[in-house]
Structure 1
Amino acid sequence: MAKQPGLDFQSAKGGLGELKRRLLFVVGALIVFRIGSFIPIPGIDAAVLAKLLEQQRGTIIEMFNMFSGGALSRASIFALGIMPYISASIIVQLLTVVYQPLAN
C-alpha cells in the first residue's frame, strides 16, 4: 500500500505543537486587548465624556463607539489606536533636525 501525503500522523505531531503555540498567542493577544479596553486614559473626566457622547447620538461618533466595542465611551487606552505612536514618531523625527544629539 502506497503512502498518501498528508496522512502521516507521526510527522504531523510537531505541527500540532506549532498550532497550539499559535493559538495560545492569539488567545493571549485577545485577552490583553480586552483588558486594555477597560483601562481608562489618565486625565479624562468620565462624566464630561458621557455628556459629550450623549449629545452625539445618531452621529458617526456613536457608530465608531459601537464598532470599537464601547471602548470610546469608556475612554480606554486601546481606543486611542495607533495615532499616539505616529504622533510621537513625527515629533522625534522633527526634533532630530533641531537637536543633533537625538540623531545619534
Structure 2
Amino acid sequence: MDDDAPSRRAGAGQPELLPDWLLGGAGRRRILERLVEDGGWTGRALEEELDLGHAWVFEVLRVLLQAEAIERVPDTRGRYRLAKTGLGKSLRSTLKALEPFAATPVSRPPSRRRGRS
C-alpha cells in the first residue's frame, strides 16, 4: 500500500483537502492527529481505528521515530505520541494551524484530455 487505505483516498469526484495535501495524504494526516494525544497510540490501535494497513502504519511510525518527530510514551508498551520538542512540536503547531482549513479543497487547474493540443 503506497499511501492511505483505498477507501480513504480522494476519489475521482472528490477533491483532495488542503491539510491532506500538505501532510502527504489523508492517512498520514489522520495518524499525526491521533499522535497529538498525550496518552499515545500503538501501531495496532492506529491500524484498527483508522482502517489502514499494518505495513503502511508501521512504515509511517518508523520514519517519524527516525526523524525524532515521535517518542515512546514512558511506562507503556509500544505507545507513541508526537514529541514535545523539535519536529514533533512543529507538527503539533502545523496540525493546529490547519484546523480552519479542514474542509478546504486544493485548487487545481482543469485537466487536459490526452490527444488534444
TM above 0.5: no
Give the number of the structure whose residues are more often helix, by fraction: 1
Select the structure with the greater relative contact order (CA < 8 A; seq sep ≥ 6): 2
TM range (shorter): under 0.3
After TM superposition, the score normalised by the length of structure 1 is 0.26
Higher Cα Rg: structure 1 or 2?
1
